[in-house]
């Protein structure tokens, strides 16, 4: 009942409520970013949701657009000072309350990944799409991008199999505290390694 009825209803209500309450703050950050980037302060990218459904993910922009001359610059190198603060505190994720209100995402669940990864999952890894992706999840409170892809998927699948009200509460509470340590934002060499598939 919680998985199929309570959680989806709560996510929609929480998404709409959060969007209304936080909209002044989101607008303020967007204006500051628009000045900082001299352009669009929002980052929009297609991601994969429940049952493989493609949707548009909304975030606040933290990195400058890459140029041909910047090919050797890492993601961390393209990030602005304000962008680093937003990424460290996860404030760049605030626009995803709109994704929750639209029914694309949940507050808690596996993070939505890139569309190009879809054909690379094995059968077990693909089960991460049995639930809606979340703003936060087990991988986010246990290392974020410092984890290997195998470790991330292990946390994702644990969540899929063990999904419950109390697990969501535990993840949410830890997520509230997590931004203050700033750990796991990047992987090795200041770069988030792309997923290239697994053998099994």
Whole-prediction pTM value?
Answer: 0.85
Q: Is 152 exposed, middle or buried (0-12, 13-18, 19+ CB in 10 A)?
A: buried
Best CA proximity match to 131, nearest among 47, 49, 46: 49
Contact 192, 145 (CB under 8 A): yes
> Which pLDDT value is given to residue 145?
79
Domain boundaries, given as residue ranges, for the chain: 2-182
Contact 46, 56 (CB under 8 A): yes
Q: Which residues are within 8 A (CB) of 139 and not within 5 positions of it... i.e. 6 or more apart? A: 110, 111, 147, 151, 152, 155, 156
Q: What is the pLDDT of residue 163?
A: 97
Model confidence over 114-141: pLDDT tens digits? Answer: 999 999 999 999 999 999 999 999 999 9
pLDDT value at residue 177: 82
- Tens-level pLDDT at each residue, the chain (200 residues): 999 999 999 999 999 999 999 999 999 999 999 998 888 999 999 999 999 999 999 999 988 766 544 444 455 656 788 888 898 888 999 999 999 999 999 999 999 999 999 999 999 999 999 999 999 999 999 988 789 999 999 999 999 999 999 999 999 999 988 765 555 554 444 467 889 887 65
């Amino acid at each position: 009942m919680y998985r199929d009825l309570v959680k989806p209803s709560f996510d929609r209500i929480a998404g709409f409520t959060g969007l209304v309450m936080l909209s002044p703050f989101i607008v303020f950050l967007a204006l500051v970013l628009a000045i900082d980037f001299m352009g669009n302060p929002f980052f929009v990218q297609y991601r994969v949701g429940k049952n493989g459904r493609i949707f548009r993910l909304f975030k606040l922009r933290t990195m400058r657009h890459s140029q041909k001359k910047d090919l050797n610059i890492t993601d961390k190198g393209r990030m602005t000072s304000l962008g680093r603060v937003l990424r460290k505190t996860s404030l760049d994720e605030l626009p995803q309350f709109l994704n929750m209100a639209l029914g694309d995402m949940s507050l808690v669940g596996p993070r939505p990944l890139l569309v190009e990864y879809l054909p690379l999952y094995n059968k077990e890894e693909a089960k991460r799409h049995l639930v809606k992706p979340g703003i936060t999840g087990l991988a986010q409170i246990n290392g974020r991008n410092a984890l290997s892809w195998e470790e991330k998927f292990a946390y994702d699948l644990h969540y899929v199999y063990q999904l419950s009200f109390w697990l969501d509460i535990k993840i949410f509470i830890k997520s509230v505290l997590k931004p203050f340590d700033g750990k796991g934002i990047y992987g090795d060499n200041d770069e988030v390694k792309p997923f290239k598939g697994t053998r099994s």
